[in-house]
Chains A and B, each alone.
Chain A
């Protein structure tokens, strides 16, 4: 049974409860009063990037539209600008819920497969936690080569002027490819994060069981 079918089975007919228990800040979804200020405050929604702006996602969760919500690319358009949070009259942590929904969809394997921000987000986290610090060069290259070697070279060429500018200004170091900045206690960091993942997994499973 996949991660998705397990939770889907457990929360049958109660998608709201699933979100409340499994998504960070998910218990706030029920408090939305559908004013739409979040949707009207979102910079990427101005560009019609969201098929379902936050207000709508909240309503869809209440209406039990599980498949549509979790497979949506909408929340991956969040730029973490926090405009929705500060304007929400109900003080709902919307940004965090968007991240939480994305994380959950990603976790149970329902998020859109080649969504660029999903890819970049994972890449960033792995890059940052691998040595404890971000390696900007590897991060960029990792993104350019996400669609294979040929596309990667093309992407790299397209960004060449940007990269060159940074190199000239001393803000991109080609030597970063070989090692680069890192924390000393990488082992400790890895052990600590592994423990954190385990605790979180156990807690979420307990909620599902309870």
Chain B
């Protein structure tokens, strides 16, 4: 397969020293194996995220995303934009839909972009990394590179909200998307297809502002994974990962539970299955250590 090239929009949380930096580490290793070339959009900015709504207004929010489109077009004309973060993908994609369907909004956006010396001529396609994996590469191609199957590891596929709604991955249902389970299967681990908290909300930004409400949801998500005998949880979204992982201690305090389950990115599973070491998979970035994966990552690769 020829190298696939994309304009890359990593997003704030993936930056060095930020909450999803280990996500980026593993994505880089994964893409190397799969011969996917990601070129970062120069000087990209924040998508505004859903939670910025109180101040954002409509046009400023879209203008913010449009700036990234304009930069991408300027430096990598014709390339599709790939985001790894669910919120970045959703925010950018929403802007794309709105601008495409409203001439007024498009004209206003162009006028504002002028202030930053930018313009948009063509609307780029906005892709999430899992879309690239599933649609552009396919499960067969992804599976080809598995040299260290995660045999016997039971993993709850937690899809969450924003990679799933309102756009979702093409062909998947909102209520029971299957792709994450298929990815778990692809890396040789055991999926839990009837994990009922698969698309439950982690609380999003309320984890910061109203932690008790978010933690009630996090408790359900983790508890169900335990009930199904999961050894770890996997997710495609940075905020889902962070919320479900880092607040387990607080949930334990609040509810008297003893949760201690690692929460991984799909890309981390893939890097380990592809023969990468713990560092390449960003396993050192886990607040709750994924011992089982670390053990597997330490094993020699079957070739």
List A residues at the B interface (Cβ < 8 Å). Answer: 24, 43-44, 47, 49, 77, 79-83, 85-87, 95, 99-100, 102-103, 106-107, 111, 116-122, 124-126, 128-129, 132-134, 136, 139-140, 143, 161-162, 165-166, 168-173, 175-176, 181, 183-185, 188-189, 191-197, 199-200, 203
Contact of A120 among B57, B205, B217, B287 (CB under 8 A): B205
Q: Are B208 and A143 in contact (CB under 8 A)?
A: yes
Q: Are B112 and A195 in contact (CB under 8 A)?
A: yes
Q: Are A133 and B165 in contact (CB under 8 A)?
A: no
For the complex, give the distance between the alpha carbons of A155 and B260 in Å: 23
Q: Are B246 and A80 in contact (CB under 8 A)?
A: no
For the complex, give the distance between the alpha carbons of A177 and B57 in Å: 28
For the complex, give the distance between the alpha carbons of A24 and B210 in Å: 25
Distance between A13 CB and nearest chain B CB, rounded to angstroms: 26
Q: Across the interface, which residues of B come within 8 angstroms of A197, CB to CB?
A: 57, 59-60
Minimum CB distance partner of B247 in chain A: A162
Known: A44-B213, A80-B51, A194-B115. A117 touches B57 (CB 8 A): no
Q: Are B116 and A80 in contact (CB under 8 A)?
A: no
Whether, in the assembled complex, B120 has its beta carbon less than 8 Å from a beta carbon of chain A, the answer is: no
Distance between B63 CB and nearest chain A CB, rounded to angstroms: 4
Contact of A86 among B52, B166, B287 (CB under 8 A): B166
For the complex, give the distance between the alpha carbons of A121 and B208 in Å: 10
In B33-69, which residues have CB < 8 Å from any A CB?
Answer: 43-46, 48-60, 62-64, 67
Q: Are B60 and A82 in contact (CB under 8 A)?
A: no
Q: Are B57 and A200 in contact (CB under 8 A)?
A: yes
Distance between B207 CB and nearest chain A CB, rounded to angstroms: 9
In B191-228, which residues have CB < 8 Å from any A CB?
Answer: 199-201, 203-206, 208-210, 213-214, 216-217
For the complex, give the distance between the alpha carbons of A176 and B118 in Å: 29
Whether, in the assembled complex, B2 has its beta carbon less than 8 Å from a beta carbon of chain A, the answer is: no
Q: Across the interface, which residues of B come within 8 angstroms of A77, CB to CB?
A: 206, 210, 213
Distance between B205 CB and nearest chain A CB, rounded to angstroms: 6
Whether, in the assembled complex, B95 has its beta carbon less than 8 Å from a beta carbon of chain A, the answer is: no
Name the residue among A106, A128, A162, A165 with the largest chain B CB count within 10 angstroms: A128
For the complex, give the distance between the alpha carbons of A24 and B57 in Å: 8
Distance between A5 CB and nearest chain B CB, rounded to angstroms: 21
Contact of B49 among A124, A126, A132, A193 (CB under 8 A): A124
Whether, in the assembled complex, B117 has its beta carbon less than 8 Å from a beta carbon of chain A, the answer is: yes
Q: Are B53 and A86 in contact (CB under 8 A)?
A: no
Q: Across the interface, which residues of A come within 8 angstroms of B231, CB to CB?
A: none
Main secondary structure of the interface of A (DSSP, over half): helix
Whether, in the assembled complex, B131 has its beta carbon less than 8 Å from a beta carbon of chain A, the answer is: no
In B11-44, which residues have CB < 8 Å from any A CB?
Answer: 12-13, 15-22, 43-44
Minimum CB distance partner of B44 in chain A: A183
Q: Are B53 and A99 in contact (CB under 8 A)?
A: yes
Q: Are A162 and B165 in contact (CB under 8 A)?
A: no
| A-B pairs, 4 with minimum CB distance | A173-B17, A188-B116, A80-B50, A81-B201
Q: Are B285 and A133 in contact (CB under 8 A)?
A: no
Q: Are A173 and B213 in contact (CB under 8 A)?
A: no
Whether, in the assembled complex, B179 has its beta carbon less than 8 Å from a beta carbon of chain A, the answer is: no
Distance between B60 CB and nearest chain A CB, rounded to angstroms: 4
Q: Are B112 and A193 in contact (CB under 8 A)?
A: yes
Q: Are B45 and A133 in contact (CB under 8 A)?
A: yes
Q: Are A134 and B204 in contact (CB under 8 A)?
A: no
For the complex, give the distance between the alpha carbons of A181 and B46 in Å: 11
For the complex, give the distance between the alpha carbons of A95 and B91 in Å: 13
Q: Are B49 and A188 in contact (CB under 8 A)?
A: no
What are 5 contact pairs spanning A and B, CB under 8 A? A77-B206, A168-B287, A183-B44, A189-B45, A195-B114
Known: A136-B13, A183-B43, A192-B115. A169 touches B53 (CB 8 A): no
Known: A171-B21, A173-B17, A188-B115. A85 touches B60 (CB 8 A): no
For the complex, give the distance between the alpha carbons of A41 and B153 in Å: 32
Contact of A128 among B52, B63, B286 (CB under 8 A): B52
Distance between B274 CB and nearest chain A CB, rounded to angstroms: 22
For the complex, give the distance between the alpha carbons of A82 and B162 in Å: 8
For the complex, give the distance between the alpha carbons of A142 and B117 in Å: 32
Distance between B156 CB and nearest chain A CB, rounded to angstroms: 18
Q: Quick one: CB contact mask for B249-271 with A, threshold 8 Å, 1 for yes? A: 11000000000000000000000
Minimum CB distance partner of A186 in chain B: B45
Whether, in the assembled complex, B139 has its beta carbon less than 8 Å from a beta carbon of chain A, the answer is: no
Known: A102-B53, A116-B209, A170-B21. A81 touches B165 (CB 8 A): yes
For the complex, give the distance between the alpha carbons of A95 and B45 in Å: 24
